[in-house]
Amino acid sequence: AAEEKKKQDQETKKQAEEQAKQQELAQKRGQAITQITTALSQEPPLSNHELNRILADIQARRHDKITAQENNQEQINNLKKEKAIADPHKYRQEAKTKIEQKLQNNGIKTEDLSPENQQALQKLKNGEIKDPNQLVETETKIKQNIYQVEAQKKITDLTSRVQQALKLKNKSHIATLKKELLAFLSSSNIYYASQKQVAENLLAQLENYSTTNHDQNNSATKSNNFPGK
């Protein structure tokens, strides 16, 4: 009992430390996004060179966050394995509940998962997976799949909204989408990495529109102010 309490205390402490780190990262991320959003909103709009510089800065910040996250993941997995070994039945029930919650929170349906992970989830629910290591591995794979699907859905939604905003030439929506894309690109979510190029292209489209629109407005203003008009 004493050993079990010690493990629980260690896990609680680890979770508290991780939460504090995440809060600090979120605060820094918010400040960075604000600074970059201000730069993107400036007049005249950024050149492609300046935009690339900002994107490179985002990538560097994001790399640091992901590295820290990956370093913590191994420790988290070790703690999970200890819990699964101590009480496989309890761990299985908790894993099932957490997965169902993550599906709901991310707006993902079971059928959105890969066939392999759909089967694994069903086995988990049926209590067919009993080996502690396999329990942790199954939970991890299903969660990874959830995050992958969420990232794909997110970028698909952003793509659709960018196309619509550009079609309607809606400046307010364009400004909002720039901020959302910056948040996407600077996120520490490692599963967003596969959609990085798409997000950068979308941001470039929005910025190019802003530049073109700004130049056209300047040209029209000069034309209207030309003597003899």
pLDDT in 10s for each residue of the chain, 229 residues: 677 767 677 777 777 776 666 666 556 656 665 655 555 555 555 555 666 666 666 666 656 666 666 667 778 888 899 999 999 999 999 999 999 999 999 999 999 999 999 999 999 999 999 999 999 999 999 999 999 999 999 999 999 999 999 999 998 999 899 989 988 988 878 899 889 899 999 998 998 887 666 445 545 455 555 555 4
184 in a structural domain:
yes
How far apart CA 18 and CA 72 sit, in angstroms, is 8
51 in a structural domain:
yes
How far apart CA 34 and CA 138 sit, in angstroms, is 38
217 in a structural domain:
no
218 in a structural domain:
no
Prior bond of 88 cis (ω within 30°)? no
The pLDDT, as a whole number, for residue 9 is: 75
222 in a structural domain:
no
How far apart CA 69 and CA 60 sit, in angstroms, is 14
Token reading at 96: 């099932």
The pLDDT, as a whole number, for residue 72 is: 72
Query: Residue 73: CA atoms inside 13 Å, Cβ hemisphere, count?
Result: 12
> Residue 138 is part of which domain span?
2-212
How far apart CA 44 and CA 176 sit, in angstroms, is 18
Cα-Cα-Cα-Cα torsion 95, 125, 86, 16, nearest 10 degrees, comes to 10
The pLDDT, as a whole number, for residue 12 is: 75
Can you say whether the dihedral through the CA atoms of 29, 35, 37, 39 is positive or negative? negative
116 in a structural domain:
yes
Prior bond of 44 cis (ω within 30°)? yes
Q: How many residues are recorded in the chain? A: 229
Number of domains in the chain: 1
The pLDDT, as a whole number, for residue 209 is: 84
> CA-based Rg of the chain, rounded to a whole angstrom?
23
The pLDDT, as a whole number, for residue 39 is: 56
110 in a structural domain:
yes
220 in a structural domain:
no
The pLDDT, as a whole number, for residue 25 is: 59
